[in-house]
Amino acid sequence: MGSVVDAPVVVEEVAENMLGDKKVTVVFVLGGPGSGKGTQCANIVEHFGFTHLSAGDLLRAEIKSGSENGTMIENMIKEGKIVPSEVTIKLLQDAMIKNENDKFLIDGFPRNEENRAAFENVTKISPAFVLFFDCSEEEMERRLLGRNQGRVDDNIETIRKRFKVFVESSLPVIEHYNAKDKVKKIDAAKPISEVFEDVKAIFAPYAKVA
């Protein structure tokens, strides 16, 4: 009976996941600070031919471009305001349209349930799945404090605050997709090489054709 119910969903996604004239595969990558998702995204790009899109990088690039949109984003950040979901979504959408690839890792977005709903409403794209790098607060603290990258925000109180914000805002997103059986949870506390073995098993269907 389950398969009968599932069938229309698949058809609907095939019809919807269009960007311009191409069908795209989108994977949301979520994980707290220090979860190692950046390292694993680079591995996925190299081995499985995805394009990595970081919401934060796109916002910074837009600011750097000096465009009217970039100036607006910069002013909002300076004033401590949250950049509207639609602005970030437009940047992600434009980046996907301009890129010749049709497989994308979207990193650091959606940050919250409002982001998620807006992304699906605006783009009509539903992610293939959510890759969630699950890591304890203690392990993240250990990693971030041991980085020695000279980052001002890598002190213990700030790290704890960043982790708390991540958990509170991202949990509803993860729960939403979990209810649709779309969350692939990775134990990110393992060594990098072991984590990538788990990642590879998930991405095997997307292996690059030689």
151 is in an annotated binding site: yes
101 is in an annotated binding site: no
65 is in an annotated binding site: no
35 is in an annotated binding site: yes
CA angle at 13 for the pair 10 and 18, rounded to the nearest 5° = 145
**How many other C-beta atoms can be found within 10 angstroms of the C-beta atom of residue 11?**
9
Q: Are strands 129-134 and 25-31 parallel, antiparallel or unpaired?
A: parallel
33 is in an annotated binding site: no
82 is in an annotated binding site: yes
64 is in an annotated binding site: no
160 is in an annotated binding site: no
38 is in an annotated binding site: yes
115 is in an annotated binding site: yes
32 is in an annotated binding site: no
Q: Which amino acid is present at 164?
A: K
8 Å CB contact between 62 and 73 = yes
190 is in an annotated binding site: yes
162 is in an annotated binding site: yes
147 is in an annotated binding site: yes
**Binding site for CMP: which residues?**
115
**Binding site for ATP: which residues?**
34-39, 147, 190
**Binding site for a ribonucleoside 5'-phosphate: which residues?**
60, 81-83, 108-111, 151, 162
**Binding site: which residues?**
34-39, 60, 81-83, 108-111, 115, 147, 151, 162, 190
